[in-house]
A and B are shown apart, each in its own frame.
Chain A
Amino acid sequence: MILLILIYIAILLLSVPGLIKRKEWRELTFFSVLYIIAFVLGLLYVLDIPVPSPMKALQYIIADVLGIKYPQQ
């Protein structure tokens, strides 16, 4: 948990001052959105809360709903 927070503080310190200095507000907005998503995912992982897998959902749609799959070896 401490390592996660330290990593994300470091990312913030590395990226944000430059963006503010150059007045790149649009870049800062999208950076913030992705930063929050990344931090929340990291937090879920650290707290051992299952993160939903997009591939499991795809596997379900392709194999189970659409019935497209290769025979098991």
Chain B
Amino acid sequence: MRIEKGNICNMQLLFLITGFVQSSISLIDFTVVITEHQTWMVILAGLVIATPFILSYVALAKRFPGMNLIQINDAVYGRFLGKVISVYYIFFLMMTLSFNILDVGELYATFLMPDTPFIYLLIFFTATCAYAVTKGLEVLARVSHLFVVVGIIVPVSTFLLLIDQMDFSNFLPFFELPLIRVFHGIHIMLSIPFGETIVFLMIMGSVNKTEGMVKNTLTGLLIGTSSLLIAAVRNTAVLGNTEAIWTSPSFQSTRLIDIGTVLTRMDFLIGIAQTVLIFFKCSLFFYALAVAVSQLFGLKSYLPLVLPLAGIEVIIAATVFQSPVDHAAITQDAGIIYSVPLMFVIPPLSLLIAKICGLPKPERGKGV
């Protein structure tokens, strides 16, 4: 039984994927500590390595039209093992959603509203996401282009406004970092902006036409990655070696904008962009989580679960890490390791099993 009744078109899928990848723009600040001035390379390498895996997600969605990840797991692995794997995915969705809610809380508590109690920031942000989720996937998809516009305008405009302060020798020397750090950076990129697109297996079943899904997914990935790349290049070119010591290189670099002493303190643009984009990502994750839990328990609608799940997410976000340092350390390590099977093993394996076993089996009486 399908829980989501609405449908989205291929163009909306493109905007959803673009906005989703762009929403990891704050991740640039997070990776810079490890990959320093080679962050741009790591983003590109991440995209190249992730593409075949993301194509396997699309191939799965095309093979099981109208089905979401939980239904696909049941169809491929059977009811018991399928449910176990689905619980693993639900755990991943819950954790990732709480990390993103926490990201917004930390952004506001550190840079924008330091005097506001942390828990209130989390409650209001999560309530806003919950409201968006109750409106359904169609509404989110219909407004997705607005998020994409923010995700393009802010990096491009700040890049242009900082062009006179850029020093492109900051990118030299190439290939200076130890290989393990580059590998670590690529792993972060693979897991967070790109691997997390596994969430689209909860959404692609609602795309009205499966033709053109590959093209739109790849286009979305490329546009989204361009925004990440522009932000990474801007930060390195402006800040150079110092970018690794700032809490947020994006905030720091845009603070340096000074056009005739009129255009200054443009870091508010970064605050707005990160809030809007993380809201978009959290709404998609929240939607996927609510639908996944409802599907697992065979409910007719996901709507009754949205508010209790929001309550759980707020408390997980508030308590999962002791500090921002703890948050960064664990996410860069165990946080990206535990999700490897979910992103890079199970989907290609499901596709292989489906091909070998000829799944999904044609229904009796309907022919092939």
Which bucket holds chain B's interface residue count?
Answer: 35 or more
Whether A70 contacts B184 by the Cβ 8 Å rule is yes
Please, how many angstroms separate the alpha-carbon atoms of A70 and B329 in the complex? 10
Whether A53 contacts B319 by the Cβ 8 Å rule is yes
Task: Determine whether B335 belongs to the interface, using a CB cutoff of 8 Å to chain A.
Answer: yes
Whether A27 contacts B95 by the Cβ 8 Å rule is no
Task: Determine whether B321 belongs to the interface, using a CB cutoff of 8 Å to chain A.
Answer: yes
- Closest-CB distance, B307 to chain A (whole angstroms): 5
Among A8, A30, A39, A44, residue most surrounded by chain B Cβ atoms (within 10 Å): A30
Main SS of chain A's interface residues? helix
Whether A68 contacts B337 by the Cβ 8 Å rule is yes
Give the total number of A-B pairs whose CB atoms are below 8 A apart: 102
Which residue in B305, B316, B318 is a CB contact (below 8 Å) of A30?
B305
Please, how many angstroms separate the alpha-carbon atoms of A11 and B319 in the complex? 22
Task: Check A38/B334 contact, CB under 8 A, given A26-B298, A27-B299.
Answer: no
Which bucket holds chain A's interface residue count?
Answer: 35 or more
Whether B299 contacts A37 by the Cβ 8 Å rule is no
Specify which chain A residues have a CB less than 8 angstroms from the CB of B330 in the assembled complex.
Answer: 55-56, 59
Specify which chain B residues have a CB less than 8 angstroms from the CB of A8 in the assembled complex.
Answer: 311
Task: Check A27/B333 contact, CB under 8 A, given A11-B307, A38-B308, A42-B311.
Answer: no
Whether B180 contacts A31 by the Cβ 8 Å rule is no
* CB-defined A-B contacts under 8 Å, sample of 22: A7-B123, A15-B307, A24-B304, A26-B300, A27-B299, A27-B301, A30-B293, A30-B305, A34-B308, A34-B309, A38-B309, A42-B314, A42-B315, A55-B320, A55-B335, A58-B335, A58-B338, A59-B330, A62-B338, A69-B334, A70-B180, A73-B33
A interface residues, Cβ below 8 angstroms from B: 7-8, 11, 14-15, 18-19, 24, 26-28, 30-31, 34-35, 37-39, 41-42, 44-45, 50-51, 53-56, 58-59, 62-63, 68-71, 73
The 9 closest A-B pairs by CB, nearest first: A38-B311, A34-B308, A41-B315, A59-B334, A51-B319, A31-B304, A62-B334, A35-B308, A11-B307
B interface residues, Cβ below 8 angstroms from A: 33-34, 91, 95, 119, 123, 180-181, 184, 187, 293-294, 297-301, 304-305, 307-312, 314-316, 318-321, 330, 332-335, 337-338
